[in-house]
Structure 1
Amino acid sequence: MPAWLPAIQYPPEQEGYWAPITSTLDWCEENYYATRYSAEIVNTFTNLLFMYLAYKGMKNCWINGHDRIFFITFFGYLVVGSGSFAFHATLKYPMQLVDELSMIYTTCLMFWATFAYSRPQPVQLLLGIFSGSLALFITGYYHWVQDPTFHQNAYAILTAIVLFRSIFVMEANIRPYFRKRHEDHQKAQQDPVSSHAEKAEKRRQDDRDRIILKTMWTMIALGLSVFLGGFGIWTLDNKYCSKLRAWRHEIGLPWGVLLEGHGWWHLMTGTGAYFYIVWGIWLRVCLNGQQDDFEMVWPSFLTSLPRVERRVVAGNGSVKKTN
């Protein structure tokens, strides 16, 4: 570290308020070096991003009247962040279960939302029973084997299934729909009965839908890249823990916190998960044929987070957005 850059040495580890450690996992961050009330202070407080984004998501769902399942999913997302906060602060096994199993339960909610959409009521009920039973099985088996690898693999498989199913739904239900409308537009151009206003409206819908599909794929690509990037950093953190600890002690505080890989995992996977839930909301809006009633608000792909808002028509016929 350059001499002109101020830094302080890492304090020694101390006896923690929550000692002894009972979790089956202990991450690369040194325990209780900053305060005796938080075992892993960086890993603890990076979960505040989960809580903030969950609050924003629930507020957006409430104000704009999105399907209830997405409000519940964002609440599950809040439980994930809160559970992870408590787990890293205490390194207690019960808090570890709250952290890890809430990830499974939230993903099972998205599993049901993805597979049950537009199904008959009895099928939705069966899928609900299956999703609940799957969550209970993973809970019981994980508590029995207490192998973190099982939880990580179960979460990864569930997430992949939900992601690829959502992409399939988007392509199978929306893209052919757009193409059919485009073909109808081409026929209308040759139909002398069609009015100029009707042709203009079809062109507007075609342009709107092309932009929507492009935005969806941008969300998928960016959200997945951020999520997988966080996973990659977490993997490096696990593999090169001793080296990273040596580097952190060499450069001192506060700069050493930038080498806390698990903290970066929280920030990046939290952001990626938020992108996925918002994409799910926007996909549901489009599947319901409500593209003109809602809009994706995303001022900048790199410096802001997306949200889906209801369009509100003022008395003078202009369109204004909800806040």
Structure 2
Amino acid sequence: MPWSIPHIPYPPSKAGFWSPVTSTLNWCEEDYYATVYAAEIVNTLTNLLFMWLGIKGIISCRRNQHAQVFQVALVGYLVVGTGSFLFHSTLKYPMQLVDELSMIYTTCLMAYASFSYTRPLGVRLVLAVSLTFLSVFITLYYHYLQDPVFHQNAYAILTTVVVLRSMHTMEVALRPRWRKSREEDRLHRQKQGLPVPSKERQHYENVRDMKTLKTMWFMVVYGLTMFLGGFAIWNLDNLYCSNIRRWRRQVGLPWGIFLEGHGWWHIMTGIGAYLYIVWGIWLRHCLNGHQDDYHLRWAHFWQIPEVIRTTPETETSVSRDKKST
């Protein structure tokens, strides 16, 4: 049955302002069909989400005084979106490197944030030098190979290590039955004659942390679902590109935009990566014992979460009553 919904036929591809293509990758979206100034218009514009969330996150970090490392990571997130915007606009090799390598550098920053917490200065310096060396090695070796599979595998391994490490830290720090260090600290404080939290205060903290843990796990599952879902759509886009291009031309514009798999990858990974950074910010405040000073503002899952300072007006009466130890 022919497609009957009103549509605009796809214009033919043509030579563009940035021609010729010099990148080692060229995605399933046809080149320069919409404008001569953007090689892949949908893949270009979907990066505006990265750029908007990056700016929003940086402003939030500065306003709420989050750890400096997360501000730097959000700058890296913004660079990823900007680099991808330029890459898909031009399909030039230098812009491809900006897009892909900034993903590696931002993940290394998050690795430093995850593994350096509470470590002595010497360990932090060794970790910083090691991650810098790793970033340089990946940069040089990728430029030598010019094989996108190497970059994709390196990024996947780094991301998996960082996420698993953060999950472990979250569980050990927040789940009451794993917090042996807190019980040891309680006994130590008793022996030293220092103030010890009351049983009521300890119960409040346990209930609070379990509630926090539940929300954090929802963030993890939601973020991973978005990330892996985007990856699956992107792979389908690569595997069935010829069929998808034919379907797009059959349904025409604007309906064909919804069949741009790499654009969906940008949207879904942009949300997933941003959720991970917000999760990391909230986890760091919990590790610092500031659960009562900061809270997550996230009324609905389709909204953008933000970790903000808790003002006296937003504190619950229970929280105020349990502050004393």
Q: TM-score if structure 1 supplies the norm length?
A: 0.90
Matched, 1:20 2:20: yes
Instruction: Using the TM superposition, give the Cα deviation of residue 308 of structure 1 relative to its aligned residue in structure 2, in angstroms.
Output: 0.6
Match of 1:225 in 2: 225
Alignment of 1:306 with 2:308, yes or no, is no
Aligned to 2:33: 33
Correspondence for 1:147? 147
Aligned to 2:102: 102
Cα contact 1:178–1:206 (8 A) shared by 2? no
State the partner residue of 1:159: 159
Deviation at 1:312, TM superposition (A): 2.0
Q: How far apart are the structure 2 equivalents of 1:317 and 1:45?
A: 42
Give the partner amino acid of 1:283.
Answer: L
Deviation at 1:55, TM superposition (A): 1.1
Aligned match of 2:322:
none
Give the equivalent residue in structure 2 for 1:134. Answer: 134
- Distance, in Å, in 1 between the alignment partners of 2:217 and 2:201 is 25
- Contact 1:39-1:88 at 8 Å conserved across structures: yes
> What are the within-5 Å matches in structure 2 for residues 1-323 of structure 1?
2-3=3-4, 5-176=5-176, 198-301=198-301, 303-313=302-312
Shift of 1:170: 1.4
In 2, the alpha carbon distance for the partners of 1:241 and 1:177 equals 50
CA distance in 1, matches of 2:179, 2:287: 14
In 2, distance between residues paired with 1:150 and 1:281? 30
CA distance in 2, matches of 1:317, 1:260: 46
| Structure 1: distance between partners of 2:181 and 2:131 | 35
Amino acid aligned to 2:239:
K
| Structure 1 residue 208: Cα displacement | 1.1
Distance between the aligned counterparts of 1:120 and 1:205, measured in 2?
A: 28
RMSD of equivalent CA atoms: 2.2
Q: Do the aligned residues in 2 keep the contact of 1:181 with 1:206 (CA within 8 Å)?
A: no
Letter in 2 for 1:310: R
Residues 127 and 254 of structure 1: CA distance in aligned 2, closer, same or farther (over 3 Å): same
What amino acid does structure 2 have at the position aligned with 1:280? G
Alpha carbons 2:172, 2:178 under 8 Å: kept: no
Deviations for 1:233-254, whole angstroms, at most 9, x for unmatched residues? 0000000000000000000000
State whether residues 182 and 206 of structure 1, in contact with CA within 8 Å, keep that contact through their aligned partners in structure 2.
no
- 2:216 and 2:105 map into 1 onto residues whose CA distance is 25
CA shift for structure 1 position 317: 10
Deviation at residue 15 of structure 1 after TM alignment: 1.4
Judge which range, 22-31 or 207-216, deviates more.
Answer: 207-216
Alpha-carbon distance between aligned partners in 2 of 1:291 and 1:231, rounded to the nearest angstrom: 34
Cα pair 1:295 1:311 within 8 Å, conserved: yes
Deviations 1:180-208 (A, max 9, x none): 69989xxxxxxxxxxxx944433322221
CA gap 1:182/1:22 in 2 versus in 1, 3 angstroms: closer
Distance 1:317 1:207, change over 3 A: closer
Mapped to 2, the partners of 1:202 and 1:117 lie a distance apart of 24
In 2: Cα distance, 1:264 partner to 1:173 partner: 35
8 Å Cα contact 1:178-1:209 kept in structure 2: no
- 3-state SS of the aligned residue for 2:311? strand
Equivalent AA in structure 1 for residue 280 of structure 2: G
Gapped runs of 5+ residues in structure 1? 185-196
Q: 1:41, 1:286 → 2: CA distance? A: 42
For residue 171 of structure 1, report the CA deviation from its aligned partner: 1.8
Q: Which amino acid in structure 2 is aligned with residue 312 of structure 1?
A: T
C-alpha separation in 2, matches of 1:80 and 1:64 = 23
Structure 1 Cα separation of the partners of residues 134 and 177 of structure 2: 33
Shift of 1:175: 2.1
CA contact (8 A) 2:173 2:179 kept: no
Q: Is the 8 A contact 1:50 1:270 kept in 2?
A: yes
**Which structure 2 residue ranges, 5 or more long, are not aligned?**
185-196, 320-325
Count matched residues: 305
Rounded to whole Å, the distance in 2 between the matches of 1:202 and 1:138 is: 47
Residues in 2 aligned to 1:198 and 1:167: alpha-carbon distance in whole angstroms = 29
SS at match of 1:86: helix
* TM-score normalised over the length of structure 2: 0.89
